[in-house]
Structure 1
Amino acid sequence: MAELEGIYTIWLRENIRFTRYKSRIVTSVVTPLLWLVIFGTGLGSAVRFGTGAAGYQAFIFPGIIGQTVLFTAVFSGVSVIMDRQYGFLKEILVAPISRPSIVLGKALGISTTAVIQGLVLLLLSFIVAVPMTPLIFIESAVVILLISLGLAGVGLLIASFTDSMEGFNLILSFIVLPIFLLSGALFPITGLPSWLQVAVYLNPLTYGVDALRNIILHQAVLPLYVDVLVVGLFALVMIMVSAFVFSKKEQSLM
């Protein structure tokens, strides 16, 4: 019960921290919409993807959801650095809760905020003329949760190795953008050069975007169960690895 209470407390703190920054909430919704409306319309008109620009906007809609989850989940790992700098992390470490539970609580809190943003975008699917049913909404929510857990683990893992926000942002600049661009969010992953396909299929977000595209648009490269299996394994591995590294790093600092 102590472990569960600790996980819940850390989860609640992450969500309270998110809701206090109203500008962050607005930006997290407005920015993806700008990508859909401006980028989707401009590039969609240029490449004549599908039926006019709207066809391309619908195509990148699952990818923009993946982008939102990616940026929110990974960048939220900076909370570990902030807690370390302000001394709050030491208070957590001396509490009667294991370090893996601390990581799990933070990962769940981070993923909750990412899922909420993803669900908001799902509700706005009418903007790009994408039909949304209760079944599609629920299935998409499950996939978004798995993606966000894995990416939250990535953010926490990076934060465990860095002691400053500058170093954290520097590492992210070399990780987040390639993950997004190589996920198939903005272009089909079929017909690519072999060397680029290797990079695409090594990217875990590729499977998340493909699963969302399968559920929402009924268009996919891989079977849905393969995508969900890969994303689920990725989430499990990243939580375990980040918990292990966090425990070792913080134990050496105590």
Structure 2
Amino acid sequence: MTPAFYYPQLRSELRREWLLWYSYRFNAVSSIIMWGAIFPVLLLTLQNVVNATAAKPFGTQEQAASLIGFLIWHLCMRVFGMMPEMMTEEAETGTLESVVIATAIDFKHLVLLRVLARSVRSAVETLLLGVVLAWLLRVPLTLSLTAVSIIVMTLIGTWGAGFILMGLALLYKSVSSIAGLVANLAFLISGAFVPINGLGWVFAVLKFIFPTTWGIDLLRQQIAGETLNWGVVLGVGGQTLLLFGLGVFVFHWALGRAKARGLLGSY
């Protein structure tokens, strides 16, 4: 099947996301306003603590590092949290089995298109939030093609982790508590708010096992104008492929198990 075969379905999923966003536009706008208010307060608190305890002041460069980490966390975790909910919602409404059986394209391909469409929606929301926060904080942020590539790799790695939870949702119906726990932990252990690349072996472990840690650190280096180690870039790319491949494998296995055990038609 050629990419053109999937284009009508992708267009349909993008339209579906737009209609969902428009139906819940108040909630979407409220979320941007909420983070637009909360993040500056968090950043100001961090700035005061650092200025009071550290020799180096918390300046514009440090603010930009915190902002870019937060935005990548916001993008990736919104998509990550949505992925298992897709399966749970279909199961709750009783349409999961019919979608698996009756869809015009392979169900796994349909799920991937839905994840892609939701990622586009989340990227637009995150971009708007980033513009608002950069304006409020007077922090200059520029995205080069290299930066966008790092963001995409980090997001696809997060898809892999999300596919694992989607597989668990097929078997156990609801895993929202796990998704919420991972998303909240990610704010701390991925270095989303405070860079953790100075933690030595702890950072070395986290960057290999957690999907966003390495990507956030690499993106900060790129935006700060540092010379990138292309071996590290290839490492992030390899991690992305590994996580995505593992996630797809687990989802494929779980879908087969759910079919064999007759779990698709009940909740």
TM-score class, shorter-chain normalisation, is 0.7 to 0.9
Is 1:162 the equivalent of 2:169?
yes
1:1-254 to 2 correspondences below 5 Å: 2-48=5-51, 50-52=56-58, 54-77=60-83, 78-93=85-100, 94-124=102-132, 125-133=134-142, 136=143, 138-162=145-169, 167-192=174-199, 194-195=201-202, 197-218=204-225, 223=230, 225-226=233-234, 228-230=236-238, 232-233=240-241, 236-237=244-245, 240-241=248-249, 243-245=251-253, 247-252=255-260, 253=262
Query: In 2, distance between residues paired with 1:244 and 1:166?
Result: 16
Query: In 2, distance between residues paired with 1:214 and 1:10?
Result: 35
Deviations 1:17-59 (A, max 9, x none): 2332113322442344334300111111111275446554222
Instruction: Rate the CA distance shift 1:149–1:142 in 2: closer, same or farther, 3 A.
Output: same
SS in 1 for 2:196: coil
Structure 1 stretches lacking a partner, 5+ long: none
**Range moving further from structure 2, 120-129 or 227-236:** 227-236
Query: In 1, distance between residues paired with 2:95 and 2:173?
Result: 20
Deviations 1:112-148 (A, max 9, x none): 1221123223433233333244xx2554444333333
Q: CA-atom RMSD, angstroms?
A: 3.2
SS in 2 for 1:131: coil
8 Å CA contact 1:180–1:205 kept in 2: the answer is: no
Name the amino acid aligned to 1:119. Answer: L
Deviation at 1:204, TM superposition (A): 1.9
Please report the TM-score for the alignment, with normalisation by the length of structure 1. Answer: 0.80
SS in 2 for 1:162: helix
Instruction: Rate the CA distance shift 1:68–1:195 in 2: closer, same or farther, 3 A.
Output: closer
8 Å CA contact 1:73–1:111 kept in 2: the answer is: yes
**Range moving further from structure 2, 228-237 or 20-29:** 228-237
Computing the radius of gyration from Cα coordinates, the structure with the larger value is: 2
% identical aligned pairs: 18
**Range moving further from structure 2, 170-179 or 159-168:** 159-168
Query: In 2, distance between residues paired with 1:243 and 1:69?
Result: 22
| Length, aligned pairs only | 252
**Range moving further from structure 2, 212-221 or 70-79:** 212-221
Query: In 1, distance between residues paired with 2:98 and 2:111?
Result: 14
Query: In 1, distance between residues paired with 2:27 and 2:86?
Result: 14
Deviations 1:45-103 (A, max 9, x none): 11127544655422201111122113311121212211221133333221221122122
Please report the TM-score for the alignment, with normalisation by the length of structure 2. Answer: 0.77
Query: In 1, distance between residues paired with 2:86 and 2:48?
Result: 40
Structure 2 stretches lacking a partner, 5+ long: none
SS in 1 for 2:164: helix
8 Å CA contact 1:10–1:105 kept in 2: the answer is: yes
Name the amino acid aligned to 2:185. Answer: P
Name the amino acid aligned to 2:42. Answer: F
